[in-house]
Structure 1
Amino acid sequence: MLQWYKIDKTSFYVENRIYEVEAGRTRICIMHNANGWKAFSRKCPHAGASFVTGWSEGEEVVCSYHRHRFNLTTGKGCPGQGDFIKIYPTKVEDEELYVAIESSGSFFCRLFK
């Protein structure tokens, strides 16, 4: 089940800059570019570097450490990388950014689903 978390006012963020934020108990990265709002894993799966020091090029985010690239829609790494990042759904309501995180729910919620 998806749980939506309010991040902040969209006007607080500069376009094409990557920010690390908290959505519930999950730390993620967000950014706004020509393709809209994107929310994704905060660390590169290759060596664990933070994406905050990286940048975006078109529909990809680039890790600043080893230049690994990931598609911001699918999460897939470039061919040959064999890795991926998690992409989170986003929405804007009343100029506020929301990000959805998959919640596993409590043991009892899962048990009686």
Structure 2
Amino acid sequence: MKTFILGRTKEEVQRLIPEKQIKTVKLGEARICVSRDGEDYFAFESHCPHRKADLSRGFLNGIQEIVCPLHEYRFNLKTGQVSNAQCPDLTLYKTELTEEGLKITVPVSM
């Protein structure tokens, strides 16, 4: 596992990741999506596990789920579980907001 840091302060992270927006970032070799809902930050794989649609084109609903733009599959951003379909769960990455920025941990092999 490798930990990356986005931003240099909590305030900068809030500006980089606007409320309920989905940003794509490249961390090492990994391309992932990052979003936030209030003080909760989420990092997840950039493509839907169903048909590989670009999740940065999806949206966050009111119950902390990412909704895929292709078939509207919904994935819980705290567990990764799909809630309305039959497909693999979404891969999530650990996030931690600190005074030094947003820490995101991803597998080294990505």
1:25 aligns with: 29
Q: Is 1:66 aligned to residue 71 of structure 2? A: yes
Gaps of 5+ in 1: 105-113
Alpha-carbon distance between aligned partners in 1 of 2:68 and 2:79, rounded to the nearest angstrom: 16
Aligned residues: 103
TM-score by length of 1: 0.82
Runs (5+) with no aligned partner, structure 2:
none
Question: What amino acid sits opposite 2:26 in the alignment?
Answer: E
Deviation of 1:80 (Å): 3.8
TM-score normalised according to structure 2 size? 0.84
Q: 1:80 to 1:13 in 2, by over 3 A?
A: closer
Identity fraction in percent: 29
Inter-partner Cα distance in structure 1 for 2:34 and 2:64: 13
Partner of 1:109: none
Alignment RMSD (CA, Å): 1.6
